[in-house]
C-alpha cells in the first residue's frame, strides 16, 4: 500500500542506458546524494544514475521528471529503499516516478563534425565576449582570460585558479599531454580540471580532423589506464565521456560552434548555467581545444 | 606561521560556495593563504607543493572537503576557521537534508541537548583528552574514537570515569552498540539479552554478527580500547562495564572478549564477576583456558565459540544455528581446490582488514601450517620483519598503521588491499589467498564488489603462469547490514571464492586446501 502523501511524477525523458538499467532483474540502487535539482543513485558497481528535474538537460544515466520541486523538500534519506515495479520507480514511499511513454535519449555520440574554420573563428569571437560577461570565476576563467583575452582585470585569483592556469599551460597545451595532473584538480562537486578535460576531450573526439583525432586517441588511451582520483560525481562524468556519452547542452554547443546559425550563443548560455563554475570550466575546455586545432591548421599541421 | 587543515567528511559544496569561503578566509587579517578544495590527489598535491599539507589533509578522501589555512598565529587561524564554519553551517542548513543542530563545543551542544548523556569524540589525539575530560566532568559517557592518546592520559580519564560511574570507551574505540544502536563501525544485529565488552574492533563485530547468526540478540556492546587490560590501566573500563551491565535490565548474559590480560588484571576482573548476579562468557583469545567448576563463567578461546556459548547461555537452542556441521558441499569445494594447486604452491597469504580477525586466524593456523609470519604476531619467531618483502605463509593486518598512514583503512577503501592481492598472485609459491570482508555502518558500501575485478585479475595473472589460485574468504556481516549480505556473498561466489561461515572456519579451510 502506498502512503497517501507519496509524490507521484511522470518521467519526461530517460537516457537509453538508464532505461536498460531499469530492466535488470535485481535492481540494486542506493541513494548517493540529494540536491535541489538532482537526486543521485548508485549501483553495486558504483555507477551513478541521476534523477533530474525538468530544468536539467538530458544526459547519460539520467532520468528527467516533469517537476520543478526540489528533491531536498521530499525528506528523502540516504537509507531509503529504491525499487522498480510495473514501470514505476519508487524512492521508498516518498516519490513514485511513472516511467512510461517518455522519450528515450541516446547520449552516445555516433557522428563527427567537419571543421568549418571561418564559421568557427567567428563563433569563438562571440563566445569570448559572452564568457567575459557571464562566465563564473573560481575555476578555469582566470586561465581563459590570461590566454585568450586582453582583459587583465583579474579579480584576486586564488591559489587554485593560478595553479590551474599553470597546469594547463604546462601539461595540456603541449605535445605530450599529462592529463593526470589536472584530474580532480580544483574546487567543487566536479573539480575544475575534470570539467575542463571533459570539454577539451569531447571536442577533440567530435571533430573529424587528423590532429584532433590524434589528440582524442592519445587522451582516450591515457584516460583508460589511470585511476580517476576525483569526486564520485566527477568520476562518473569522465567514465561516461570515455564511452563518448555526453549531456545534451554540451553536445549542442560543440556541434553548433561549427555551424553558421546563431544557435551557438544560446547553447553557450545553457552550458554556462551548468553547476556553479562547471559550465564555464567545460566551455573553456571546449574553446581551448578548438583554438588548439585551429592553430595547428594555421601552422600547416 | 601557523598552518592547519580541517577536514569535512563526505561534504560536497559547489565551487562558488568554496570560492567565497576562500575569499572570506583570505580577507581575515593575518591570514597568508587559504585553500578550500575536495581531497583529490591533485588537490592534495597542491597543498604539498605550497607546504600546507598536514597528516589530516593527506588522509582525506576524494569526497572530503579540505579547508587549509596558513595564518600568522593560532589566534588568527581560529578567527579564519570560525568564518569558514559559519558560512558552511549556513549552507548546510539550507541544504534541506535532515536538520542537525551544529555545536562547536561540548558545552554548546549540551545547551541544545540537555538530556544527552553520551558523547562520541573524534578529534585529533592532542585535543581528545581535553574534550573527554570536559565531557566526563559534565557527567557524560564517552566513546573516544581518537587515537594517539598516551597511556597516562588514558588512565587519568578512566579514573575520572570510574569515580563518576561512567563509561570511558577507548581511546581508539571504533565499535560500540548502545541500546542496540550501532555507533561508528558496527553491524546491524538482532536485539536481545546478550551484552559484550571487548577491546573494540572487529573482534567485537565478529561476536555480534555470529550471535545474530546463531539466533541470539545483542543489548549492549562496549569497547574498552586495546590497552584497558594491560597492567598500566588495570582493566578499569572492563570492570566499570561489568558493573554497568549488572544493572542493565535487558542484559542477562555478559560476554567479555580480549587478548589474555595481565595476571593481576585478570584476578580483578574475576573478582568483579563474583559480585554480580549474571552469567558470564569469557573469551581470552589465544589462551588455552579450561573451564573449571565455576558455574557462572564459561571460558572460550575463539570468537566463534564465544558467540556460540553466549547464545547457549542466553537459553537459545544454538544447535539450530550450528554452522560447523558436516557440509558436503564445502568439503567437495575444498577437494576441488586442493586438486587445482601444483607442488610449488605450498603457501597462503592472509590479507585482513580486521585486526582481531587476523589475530584469530593466526591462532587457528599456527597449529595447522608451519612457519607463519605476521605483522601483528607477538611471538618473536612469528614476527614479520618486512611487510613488503617476505616468503612463505604470511598473515597481514592491513589496517595497521604501517599500511594506513596517509591512506584510508582497507575496511573503508579497499584499493590498498587490492594492490596487495595482485602482488601475491605473482608469487608462484602462493596457493591460497585468505580474505575478510566487513559489512556494517562505517565500512565500504560494497566491499565484495570492490574486490571482484581484482580477484579475476589475480586469477588471470596466475593462469598466465600456468597456475591456479584459490581464494578463501569470510564476510563479517548480517543480513540486516545495509550492504546486502546475500548480494555480497553472491559476488564472491561468482568469481569462485570459497566462502566460510565464520573467521575460524575460513582459517581452517585455508589450512585444509594447502594440506
Is residue B22 within 8 angstroms of chain A, CB to CB?
yes
CB-based contacts of B124: which residues, under 8 Å, 6+ apart? B56, B146, B148
- For B320-346, the DSSP string reads GG---S--HHHHHHHHHHHHH--TT--
Q: Is B11 helix (H, G, I), strand (E, B) or coil?
A: coil
Beta strand pairing call for A48-52 and A207-208: unpaired
Cβ of A230 within 8 Å of Cβ of B38? The answer is yes
Q: Is residue A111 part of a domain?
A: no
Window 17-36 of A: residues touching B by CB (8 A cutoff) are: 26, 28, 30, 33-34, 36
For testing contact with chain A, the best of B5, B12, B26, B40 (most A CBs within 10 A)? B40
Enter the ipTM. 0.75
User: Quick check: A72 and B96 CB within 8 A?
Assistant: yes
Q: Which of residues 190-249 of A touch B (CB under 8 A)?
A: 191-193, 227, 229-233
Do A184 and A294 reside in the same domain of the chain?
A: yes
Nearest chain A Cα to B94, which residue? A72
Q: Which site among A188, A234, A275, A278 would you substitute to test the B interface, given the most B Cβ atoms closer than 10 Å to its Cβ?
A: A188
Question: What is the Cα–Cα distance from B506 to A265, expressed in whole angstroms?
Answer: 64
Q: Do A231 and B26 touch (CB under 8 A)?
A: no
Kindly provide the residue ranges of all beta strands, DSSP E only, lying in B124-211, ordered along the sequence.
141-144, 168-169, 175-178, 181-184, 191-198
Measured from the Cβ of residue B344, the count of other Cβ atoms closer than 10 Å reads 12
Q: What is the pLDDT along chain B (515 residues), one digit of tens a residue?
A: 788 888 888 776 766 677 777 777 887 888 888 888 888 888 888 888 888 888 889 988 888 889 999 889 888 888 888 888 877 776 554 444 444 566 667 888 888 787 889 999 887 777 889 899 999 999 999 999 887 789 999 999 999 999 999 999 999 898 999 988 889 889 999 888 999 999 868 999 999 999 998 888 999 999 999 899 999 999 999 999 999 999 998 899 999 998 888 889 999 999 999 999 999 999 988 777 776 666 789 999 899 999 999 998 988 866 544 554 446 778 888 999 999 999 999 999 999 999 999 999 999 999 899 999 999 998 999 999 999 999 999 999 998 878 876 567 888 888 889 999 999 999 999 999 999 999 998 888 899 999 999 999 999 999 999 999 999 999 999 988 989 999 999 999 999 999 999 999 999 999 999 98
- The DSSP letter of residue A181 is G
d(CA B510, CA B515): 9
Q: Which of A74, A105, A136 is the last residue of a domain?
A: A105
Q: Which residues of B touch A184 (CB under 8 A)?
A: 38, 40-43, 62
Cα separation, A53 vs A30, whole angstroms: 19
Domain assignment of residue A209, given as a range = 117-298
For B27, which residue in chain A has the nearest alpha carbon? A156
Q: Examine the fold and report which residue of A77, A105, A133 is the final residue of a domain before the chain moves on.
A: A105
Query: If 0-12 CB within 10 Å is exposed, 13-18 middle and 19+ buried, where does residue A90 land?
Result: middle
Pair A6, A125 in one domain: no
- Whether residues B46 and A185 touch (CB distance < 8 A) is answered with yes
Are residues A147 and A54 both part of a single domain? no
How many domains are contained in chain A?
2
265-284 in A: which are within 8 Å (CB) of B? 275-278
CA distance B78 to B83: 9
Size of interface A-B (CB pairs under 8 A): 120
Strand partners, B144: B121
pTM over 0.90: no
Does some domain include residue A259? yes
Measured CA to CA, the distance from residue A57 to residue A37 in angstroms comes to 11
Tell me the CA distances in angstroms from A172 to A140, A165, A196, one per residue in order. 13, 10, 11
CA B73 to chain centre: 36
Within this chain, do residues A157 and A278 fall inside the same structural domain, yes or no?
yes
Among B215, B206, B170, B173, which Cα is nearest to B187's? B206
Do A96 and A129 belong together in one domain? no
A227 and A273 housed in the same domain: yes
B13 to chain A, any CB pair closer than 8 A? The answer is yes
**Nearest residue on chain B to A275, alpha-carbon basis:** B14
A75 and A142 housed in the same domain: no
The secondary structure of residue B291, as a DSSP letter, is P
Mutate which: A27, A37, A44, A156, vs B, most B CBs within 10 A: A44
Domain assignment present for residue A160? The answer is: yes
Amino acid at each position: 500500500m502506498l502512503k497517501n502523501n507519496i509524490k507521484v511524477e511522470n518521467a519526461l525523458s530517460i537516457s537509453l542506458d538508464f532505461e536498460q538499467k531499469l530492466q535488470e532483474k535485481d535492481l540494486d540502487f542506493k541513494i548517493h546524494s540529494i540536491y535541489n535539482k538532482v537526486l543521485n543513485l548508485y549501483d553495486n558497481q558504483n555507477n551513478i544514475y541521476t534523477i533530474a528535474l525538468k530544468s536539467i538537460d538530458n544526459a547519460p544515466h539520467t532520468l528527467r521528471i516533469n517537476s520543478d520541486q526540489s528533491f531536498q523538500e521530499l525528506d528523502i534519506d540516504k537509507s531509503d529503499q529504491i525499487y522498480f515495479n510495473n514501470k514505476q520507480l519508487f524512492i521508498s514511499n516518498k516519490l513514485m516516478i511513472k516511467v512510461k511513454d517518455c522519450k528515450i535519449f541516446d547520449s552516445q555520440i555516433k557522428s563527427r563534425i567537419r571543421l568549418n574554420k571561418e564559421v568557427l573563428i567567428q563563433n569563438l569571437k562571440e563566445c569570448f565576449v559572452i564568457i567575459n560577461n557571464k562566465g563564473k570565476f573560481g575555476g578555469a576563467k582566470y586561465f581563459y582570460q590570461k590566454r585568450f583575452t586582453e582583459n587583465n582585470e583579474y579579480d584576486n585569483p586564488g591559489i587554485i585558479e593560478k595553479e590551474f592556469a599553470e597546469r594547463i599551460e604546462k601539461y595540456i597545451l603541449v605535445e605530450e599531454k599529462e592529463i593526470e595532473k589536472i584530474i580532480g584538480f580544483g574546487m567543487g562537486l566536479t573539480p575544475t580540471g575534470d570539467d575542463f578535460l571533459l570539454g577539451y576531450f569531447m571536442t577533440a573526439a567530435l571533430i573529424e580532423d587528423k590532429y584532433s583525432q590524434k589528440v582524442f586517441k592519445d587522451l582516450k588511451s591515457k584516460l583508460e589506464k589511470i585511476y580517476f582520483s576525483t569526486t564520485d560525481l566527477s568520476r562518473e562524468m569522465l567514465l561516461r565521456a570515455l564511452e563518448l556519452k555526453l549531456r545534451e547542452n554540451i553536445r549542442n554547443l560543440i556541434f553548433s560552434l561549427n555551424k553558421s546559425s546563431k544557435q551557438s550563443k544560446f547553447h553557450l548560455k545553457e552550458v554556462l548555467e551548468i553547476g556553479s563554475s562547471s559550465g564555464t570550466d567545460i566551455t573553456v575546455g571546449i574553446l581551448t581545444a578548438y583554438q588548439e586545432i585551429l592553430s595547428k591548421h594555421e601552422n600547416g599541421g | 606561521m601557523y598552518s592547519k587543515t580541517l577536514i569535512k567528511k563526505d561534504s560536497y559544496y559547489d565551487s562558488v560556495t568554496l570560492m567565497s569561503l576562500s575569499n572570506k578566509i583570505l580577507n581575515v587579517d593575518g591570514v597568508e593563504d587559504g585553500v578550500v578544495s575536495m581531497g583529490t590527489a591533485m588537490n592534495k598535491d597542491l597543498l604539498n607543493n605550497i607546504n600546507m599539507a598536514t597528516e589530516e589533509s593527506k588522509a582525506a578522501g576524494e569526497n572530503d572537503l579540505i579547508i587549509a589555512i596558513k595564518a600568522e598565529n593560532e589566534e588568527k587561524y581560529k578567527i579564519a576557521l570560525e568564518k569558514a564554519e559559519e558560512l558552511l553551517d549556513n549552507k548546510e542548513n539550507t541544504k534541506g537534508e535532515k536538520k542537525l543542530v551544529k555545536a562547536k563545543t561540548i558545552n554548546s551542544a549540551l545547551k541544545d541537548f540537555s538530556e544527552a548523556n553520551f558523547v562520541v569524540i573524534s578529534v585529533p589525539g592532542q585535543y581528545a583528552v581535553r574534550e573527554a575530560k570536559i565531557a566526563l566532568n559534565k557527567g557524560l559517557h564517552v566513546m573516544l574514537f581518537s587515537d594517539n592518546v598516551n597511556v597516562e592520559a588514558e588512565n587519568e580519564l578512566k579514573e575520572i570515569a570510574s569515580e563518576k560511574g561512567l563509561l570511558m570507551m577507548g581511546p581508539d574505540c571504533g565499535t560500540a552498540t548502545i541500546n542496540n544502536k550501532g555507533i561508528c563501525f558496527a553491524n546491524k544485529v538482532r536485539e536481545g539479552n546478550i551484552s559484550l565488552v571487548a577491546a573494540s574492533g572487529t573482534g567485537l563485530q565478529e561476536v555480534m554478527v555470529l550471535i545474530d547468526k546463531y539466533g541470539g540478540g545483542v543489548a549492549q556492546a562496549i569497547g574498552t580500547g586495546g590497552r584497558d587490560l594491560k597492567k598500566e590501566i588495570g582493566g578499569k573500563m572492563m570492570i566499570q562495564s561489568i558493573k554497568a551491565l549488572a544493572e542493565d535490565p535487558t542484559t542477562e548474559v555478559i560476554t567479555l572478549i580480549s587478548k589474555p590480560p595481565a595476571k593481576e588484571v585478570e584476578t580483578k576482573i574475576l573478582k568483579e564477576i563474583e559480585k554480580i548476579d549474571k552469567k558470564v562468557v569469557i573469551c581470552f583469545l589465544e589462551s588455552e583456558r579450561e573451564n573449571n567448576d565455576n558455574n557462572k563463567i564459561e571460558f572460550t578461546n575463539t570468537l566463534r565459540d564465544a558467540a556460540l556459548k553466549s547464545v547457549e547461555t542466553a537459553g537459545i537452542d544454538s544447535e539450530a544455528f550450528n554452522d560447523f556441521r558436516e557440509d558436503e558441499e564445502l568439503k567437495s569445494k575444498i577437494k576441488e581446490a586442493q586438486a587445482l594447486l601444483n607442488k610449488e604452491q605450498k603457501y597462503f597469504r592472509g590479507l585482513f582488514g580486521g585486526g582481531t580477525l587476523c589475530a584469530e586466524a593466526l591462532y587457528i593456523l599456527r597449529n595447522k601450517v608451519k612457519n607463519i609470519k605476521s605483522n601483528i604476531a607477538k611471538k618473536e619467531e612469528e614476527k614479520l620483519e618486512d611487510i613488503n618483502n617476505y616468503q612463505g605463509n604470511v598473515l597481514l593486518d592491513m589496517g595497521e598503521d604501517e599500511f594506513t598512514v596517509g591512506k584510508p583503512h582497507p575496511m573503508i577503501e579497499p584499493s590498498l588491499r587490492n594492490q596487495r592481492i595482485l602482488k601475491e598472485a605473482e608469487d608462484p609459491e602462493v596457493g591460497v589467498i585468505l580474505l575478510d570482508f566487513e559489512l556494517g555502518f562505517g565500512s565500504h558500501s560494497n566491499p565484495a564488489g570492490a574486490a571482484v575485478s581484482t580477484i579475476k585479475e589475480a586469477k588471470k595473472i596466475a593462469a598466465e603462469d600456468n597456475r591456479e589460485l584459490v581464494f578463501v574468504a569470510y564476510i563479517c556481516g548480517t543480513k540486516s547490514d545495509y550492504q546486502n549480505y546475500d548480494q555480497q556473498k553472491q559476488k564472491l561466489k561468482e568469481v569462485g571464492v570459497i566462502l566460510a561461515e565464520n573467521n575460524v572456519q575460513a582459517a581452517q579451510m585455508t589450512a585444509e586446501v594447502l594440506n
